Amino acid sequence: MDRIPTGRPSWDEAMRNAALAVLDSKRWVKGSQGKAFGLAFADHCGALSATPCQNGSSALWAALRIANIGPGDEVIVPSYTFISTATCILLVGATPVFVDVEPDYFCLDVGAVQKAITPSTKGVIGVHLFGQPYDPELVTLCTSHGLTLIEDAAQAHGASQQFQNGSKRVAGSMGDIGCFSFFPSKNMAVGGEGGMLTTTRQAYTAKISGITNHGRSPDLEAMELGSNLRMSEVSAAIGLEQLKNLDSWVERRHKTATLYTEAIEDNPLLQPPRVRPGAEHAWHQYCVHTNHPEALVEHFDHLGIDARRYYTTPIHHQAVFATHPQHSAELENTNKLGATLVAIPVMHELTEVEIQRILEALTTFKIA
């Protein structure tokens, strides 16, 4: 019986043909595919513009540079997330300020963010963690305080959130600058490393395009500090094909997540993740609450299914932040989630047989 991994990227004949066509053209950089991918991605998420880049981490660094955030500035960020969400702040010389997350939805606690704002606060990095959109009140708070809201959507391709005015905003258009990753484990990929920058602010559209190309203007004059963050044409061509399938892939993840939640209801040792009202979760990860995380991982392993615990050590407790003033601080919800969550496979490439195996693993889990 084959082992079920936590991630499996999609690959089909259309993607293969798109990649080969670019290779055969010998136009491997700075061609039409990158431009087309950016236009299509912006249209999908409702952003003013989008620019492909090397990866999600470089997108976060670029977003801070675009917002003119640097030495002397503070940026509020969760500690329960992937490391690059916070280290990008150090890379531009600014100071991360760590706050706790919500116990139910795992995203930034808006009340905690408000308390952390100081005269030095220049921006906030909000994370749609595991595909769950952050609280729309975070958008309102940042707007009222004149703070740049950088949207870490690395795990949220296809997620959306209903706002109080009735409008629906898709991940990538819920902040000033959006940052995506196309790592192979994500909801969509590009045949290797890749990322995307989006923006909802007209003033940032030209800067985003320039900063990924050495900070140069269309006439090739270096206007600001940038770097070569460009995506290859091959990756962009693959991304274009994957984008056509994104909505159906997210819908499949949603259906699988619903089956898991129904199965967990019959097991008192497990609690399903909650979905924010008005949200369409992208289900990059399906994370189960349990007081027995190691036992659950071992149970799945015994049945030939991969399961993972994420972010068990909060970012601010890690060695890279040993001299940070919050290094020893305790964030209650961050600590609890790191100690109780287990991610199980929910990828859209799961077969029906594999889904049934996972459902059986959930229902048969017990503590001797």
Rg (CA), the chain: 20
The pLDDT of residue 206 is: 86
Distance CA 228, CA 210 (A): 10
Q: What does the alpha-carbon distance between residue 344 and residue 128 come to, in Å, rounded to a whole number?
A: 18
DSSP 108: B
Domains of the chain and any CATH numbers: 13-243 (3.40.640.10), 246-364 (3.90.1150.10)
Query: Cα separation of 283 and 267, whole Å?
Result: 21
Residue 4, SS3 per DSSP: strand
Mean pLDDT by 10 residues, the chain (368 residues): 94 98 95 97 98 97 96 98 98 98 98 98 98 98 98 98 92 98 97 97 90 78 81 98 98 98 95 98 98 98 98 97 97 98 98 98 94
pLDDT confidence of residue 226: 76
Q: Rounded CA gap, 368 and 316, in Å?
A: 36
The span from the CA of 350 to the CA of 58, in Å, is: 30
- Rounded Cα gap, residues 195 and 204, in angstroms: 17
Mark residue 261 as left, alpha or beta (left: phi above 0; alpha: psi -120 to 50; beta: remaining): alpha
- How high is the pLDDT of residue 328? 97
Q: Find residue 97's DSSP bridge partners.
A: 76
Contact, 188 vs 215, CB < 8 A? Answer: no
| Residues whose CB is less than 8 angstroms from the CB of residue 159 and which lie 6 or more positions away in sequence, other chains included | 128, 131, 132, 133, 153, 170, 171, 250, 279, 280, 281, 282
- Six-digit token string for 269: 């040792």
What is the C-alpha to C-alpha distance for residues 347 and 221, in angstroms, rounded to an integer? 44
Query: Which residues sit opposite 177 in a β-bridge?
Result: 150, 199
Q: What is the pTM of this model?
A: 0.96
**What are residue 173's DSSP bridge partners?**
none
